[in-house]
Amino acid sequence: MYFCNDYESIVNTQPLQLDLFQTLKQLKPIQIVNMDFKVLNFTIFCINNVALFLGKSAKEVYHRMQDANIIDGYIVPCYDVLHTFSKEYIVEDLVEFMQKKGALQ
């Protein structure tokens, strides 16, 4: 599964191309973690609740967590254990972990 992180720069700087294959070859895809729906749903739950707790946007929290490798390095691999805890515990744990990883000032 891939997500394109360079779509806007290609669309905004190059003439419209009708050949989809050629356009896709120019994109710089990044690979994302292959996860099932329940893990994805839990990850979204974590991001949204941390964002609410911090008074920040979910987009900002997502980027901070990604930059600190918290999603792929902690939330996803520890899903089996983490999803059994309360929302309050999960949020406090993730905020503390973000602080330790330097994702929060």
- Given pLDDT bands bounded at 50, 70 and 90, which one contains residue 36? confident
Q: Where are the domains of the chain?
A: 2-31, 37-100
pTM to 2 decimal places: 0.67
What is the model's pLDDT at position 18?
A: 47
- Return the bridge partners of 30, or none: 3
- Distances from the Cα of 19 to the Cαs of 3, 11, 22, 25, 84, in angstroms? 19, 13, 6, 10, 48
Q: Kindly tell me if the per-residue pLDDT of 87 is higher than 70.
A: yes
